[in-house]
Amino acid sequence: MAGTGGPVATFSVWDYVVFAGTILASAAIGLFQAIRGRKETSSNEFLLGGRQMTAVPVAMSLTASFMSGITVIGTPTEAYRFGAAFWLFGFSYAIMSVITAEIFVPLFYRLGITSAYEYLGLRFSQHIRIIGTSMYIVQTALYTGLVIYAPALALNQITGLDLWGVLVATGVVCIIYCTLGGLKAVIWTDVIQMVTMLAGFVAVIARGAVLQGGLTKIWEDAGQGGRLYAFDFDPDPLKRHTFWTITVGGSVMWTSIYAINQSQVQRYISCKTLGHAKMSLYVNMVGLWITVSLAVFSGLTMFSIYKDCDPLTNGDISTPDQLLPYLVMDILADYPGIPGLFVAAAYSGTLSTVSSSINALVAVTVEDFLQPVCKNLTQKQVTWMNMGLSVFFGALCIGMAGVASLMESILQAALSIFGMISGPLLGLYLLGMLFRTSNSIGGLAGMIIGLVLTLWVGIGGQIYPPTAEKTNLLLFSTAGCNSTMGQNYTTTISPVTLTSQPDIRPPLADSWYSLSYVYFALLGTLTTIVSGLLVSMMTGGCKQETKNADLFVKKSDLICFSWCSKSEASDVTEKDATHFHMEADNPAFTESDETSKHAEKGTKL
Is 564 within the bounds of a domain? no
Residue 576 has pLDDT above 60, yes or no: no
Higher pLDDT, 599 or 178: 178
Higher pLDDT, 261 or 196: 261
Is 596 within the bounds of a domain? no
Q: Is 157 exposed, middle or buried (0-12, 13-18, 19+ CB in 10 A)?
A: middle
Q: Please report which residue ranges of 435-499 form alpha helices under DSSP H.
A: 440-463, 468-471
Which CATH number fits the domain that encloses residue 172? 1.20.1730.10
Is 595 within the bounds of a domain? no
Supply the pLDDT for residue 244: 94
Average the pLDDT over each of 160-164, 521-525, 584-588 and give the range with the smallest value: 584-588
Closest CA to 461 of 491, 423, 420, 492: 420
Model confidence at 140, pLDDT cuts 50, 70, 90, reads confident
10 Å Cβ neighbour count for 412? 20
Is 597 within the bounds of a domain? no
Distances (CA, A) of 131 to 134, 172, 506: 5, 29, 33
pLDDT (tens digit, 9 = 90+) per residue, 86-103?
Answer: 999 999 999 999 999 988
Residue 486 DSSP label: T
Q: With DSSP H G I counted as helix, E B as strand and the rest as coil, what are the percentages for the chain, rounded to 5?
A: 70, 0, 30
Is 205 within the bounds of a domain? yes
Is 546 within the bounds of a domain? no
Model confidence at 66, pLDDT cuts 50, 70, 90, reads low
Supply the pLDDT for residue 205: 93
- CB 393 within 8 Å of CB 137: no
Residue 596 DSSP label: G
Closest CA to 558 of 587, 527, 579: 579
Is 74 within the bounds of a domain? yes
3-state secondary structure 364-381: HHHHHHHCCCCCCCCHHH
- Annotate 499-556 with DSSP letters as a single string: SPPPSS--GGGGTGGGS-GGGHHHHHHHHHHHHHHHHHHHTT----TT--GGGS--GG
Q: How far apart are CA 573 and CA 370, in angstroms?
A: 26
Q: Is 357 exposed, middle or buried (0-12, 13-18, 19+ CB in 10 A)?
A: buried
Q: How far apart are CA 412 and CA 401, in angstroms?
A: 17
Is 562 within the bounds of a domain? no
Reduced to 3 states (helix: H, G, I; strand: E, B; else coil), residue 53 is: strand
3-state secondary structure 160-184: CCCHHHHHHHHHHHHHHHHHHHHHH
How many structural domains comprise the chain?
1
The alpha carbon dihedral of 444, 450, 454, 460 has a sign of positive
Distances (CA, A) of 2 to 217, 304, 343, 488, 572: 16, 11, 19, 20, 63
pLDDT (tens digit, 9 = 90+) per residue, 406-434?
Answer: 555 667 777 888 889 999 999 999 999 99
Supply the pLDDT for residue 567: 36
Percent residues over pLDDT 70 in the chain: 70
Model confidence at 31, pLDDT cuts 50, 70, 90, reads low
Q: What is the reported pTM?
A: 0.80
Percent residues over pLDDT 90 in the chain: 21
> Which domain range does residue 280 map to?
13-540
Average the pLDDT over each of 153-162, 317-326, 445-454 and give the range with the smallest value: 153-162
Average the pLDDT over each of 124-138, 268-282, 297-311, 408-422 and give the range with the smallest value: 408-422
Residue 271 DSSP label: B
Supply the pLDDT for residue 600: 42
- Dmax of the chain from CA atoms? 78
β-strand partners of 493: 476
- CB 418 within 8 Å of CB 78: no
